[in-house]
Amino acid sequence: MMRSLPPALRRTLGAALLAFVPLGGALAQGGGVPVTTDPVRIGPVPVEILANGLVSSESVVTIRTRVDGQIERVLVAEGQMVRRGQPLFILDSRMNQALLAQQEAQLARDKAQAARAQADAQRYQSLRGESFASQQRFEQAQADSLAGAANVRATEALIAQTRLNIEFATITAEIDGQLGAIPLRAGNFVRQAENTAITTLTQMDPILVSFAVPERWLPAVRTAMQGEAPTVRAHAEGDRGPWAEGRLVFVDSAVDTTTGTILLKARFQNADNKLWPGQYVQVTLAPRTDPEAITVAGPAVQTGQQGRYVFVLAPDGTARRRPVEFLRTAGDRAVVKGELAAGEKVIVDGAQRVTEGTRAMERGAAPAPQRVSSVQ
């Protein structure tokens, strides 16, 4: 038929046929726009709350001296991890030891005087019964005996105090944790009255993360706290390792009216020191699970003038637009609400190049056979 036409008309029709191949011949060669798809999933998905958190220690102990004395030895280094009861500093206790020896000698003297006073009281009691001693002398002997016993107890209390001061000369760790900077070294004199900090001891394991969530989540959080404490995950910026997992342990008693948020705290086991006090982290809280959540790949959700939508690759190879309501994100997937069935193929890569009814083909799939009729 083409050969029967004039040459000029044949050239015009041939150019028109070549120009009718869209997307560089994709329709003629493969049957549609090349796209990448991902199946729709329906199943349980945790409802996650995202927030920014601050790592803080459960306990920070400021170490100070409880007695006056010169620092004799420093047994630890700055930043060292220590255990509870481990000696940290030793102060010079020779003055207290000399005082203890003096008080022990005084106690021996007081005990001897108390024994003599008690013997006198017993003797005057027997003499008073035989009318050889007056009532006044007997009462005086009894008073001397009681005074002697009181002197013994007072000296024993002084000895206990001196021994305690000697014990305080060895400063030990009150908790397991990490030491801070140590500004004072051996040879410095410290006084209890000056209240000078020798160092600090920070508990590292377990550790807390504080964060705030909008008050609209308060009912879900309170419901979750009635059972097993919900899981909280934390991740520091730049950390390529797995997220740290802990448990929610605290819900504040009041909503912050200035921000409309509620303060929460989670406790994390931190044996590997993954979380550090004062560090800012990203926090994910999952107070409950949606059993029938519809999820699609995040990039598949598009935004138009009429709202959010996705393109589904229909069995006949055409793109079909489906309106959806975006609810939240769950990892790299979007949780949506709409008329989607499990297993339907949602267009992810190439969704911007298709419209309602456009023929599309998955990349890597065999093209549909086409019948090409030649015009003669």
Percent of the chain with pLDDT over 90: 62
CA distance 214 to 337: 23
User: pLDDT for 81-105, tens place per residue?
Assistant: 999 999 999 999 999 999 999 999 9
Q: What does the pLDDT average to over 232-237? A: 92
Structural domains in the chain plus CATH codes: 48-58+205-289 (2.40.30.170), 64-92+170-202 (2.40.50.100), 93-168 (1.10.287)
Query: Over the chain, what is the mean pLDDT?
Result: 86
CA distance 35 to 177: 56
Highest mean pLDDT pick, 10-24, 49-63, 117-131 = 49-63
Classify 330 as helix, strand or coil.
Answer: strand
5 band by pLDDT with thresholds 50, 70 and 90: low
**DSSP per-residue letters across 125-154:** HHHHHTTSS-HHHHHHHHHHHHHHHHHHHH
Q: Which residues pair with 172 in a beta bridge?
A: 87
124 band by pLDDT with thresholds 50, 70 and 90: low
**DSSP per-residue letters across 153-166:** HHHHHHHHHHHHHH
User: pLDDT for 254-276, tens place per residue?
Assistant: 999 999 999 999 999 999 999 99
User: pLDDT for 21-53, tens place per residue?
Assistant: 444 444 444 567 899 999 999 999 888 889 999
Tell me, what amino acid is at 179?
L
User: pLDDT for 193-224, tens place per residue?
Assistant: 888 899 999 999 999 999 999 999 999 999 99
**Residue 20 C-alpha from the chain's centroid:** 61
Q: What does the pLDDT average to over 45-64? A: 93
Name the CA radius of gyration of the chain, rounded. Answer: 43
pTM: 0.68
Residue where the block lists tokens 């991902």: 38
User: What pLDDT was estimated at residue 127?
Assistant: 66
Q: What does the pLDDT average to over 357-372? A: 66
Q: Could you give the residue ranges of the DSSP H alpha helices within the chain? A: 7-19, 26-30, 94-129, 135-168, 218-225
Name the DSSP class of 366.
P
Q: Which residue has the higher pLDDT, 190 or 373?
A: 190
User: What pLDDT was estimated at residue 367?
Assistant: 53
User: pLDDT for 308-359, tens place per residue?
Assistant: 999 999 999 999 999 999 988 887 899 999 999 999 999 999 888 899 999 9
User: What pLDDT was estimated at residue 210?
Assistant: 97
User: What pLDDT was estimated at residue 376?
Assistant: 38
Number of residues written out for the chain: 376
User: What pLDDT was estimated at residue 325?
Assistant: 93
237 band by pLDDT with thresholds 50, 70 and 90: confident
- Which tokens is 57 given? 């220690």
User: What pLDDT was estimated at residue 163?
Assistant: 96
Of 128-137, 158-167, 313-322, least confident by mean pLDDT is 128-137
